[in-house]
């Protein structure tokens, strides 16, 4: 995959330039994306208090999984 990176971000007279490659990669992925939590107000209301309370995302996921099995 390194060869693909070099081939994609090499220029005739300048060769491979890491800073320019990084900027181009950022530009390519800069498209509007909505996260799952932002898109679902019910999920957001359920998760944000747990996060503010200091629970880890892994603990929250385990708790939600256990609740889903129960109900």
Residue 14 has what pLDDT? 84
Closest CA to 24 of 33, 34, 14: 14
pTM of the model: 0.47
Q: What are the boundaries of each domain within the chain?
A: 1-31, 36-70
Continuous H helices in the chain: 2-8, 18-29, 36-39, 41-53, 57-70
Residue 48 has what pLDDT? 92
pLDDT digits (tens, 9 = 90+) for 24-38: 888 888 777 888 888
In this predicted structure, the answer to whether residue 71 has a pLDDT above a threshold of 90 is no
């Amino acid at each position: 995959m390194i060869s693909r990176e070099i081939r994609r971000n090499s220029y005739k007279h300048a060769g491979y330039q890491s800073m320019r490659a990084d900027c181009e990669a950022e530009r390519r992925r800069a498209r509007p994306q909505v996260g799952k939590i932002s898109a679902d107000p019910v999920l957001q209301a359920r998760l944000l208090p747990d996060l503010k309370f200091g629970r880890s995302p892994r603990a929250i996921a385990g708790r939600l999984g256990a609740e889903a099995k129960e109900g």
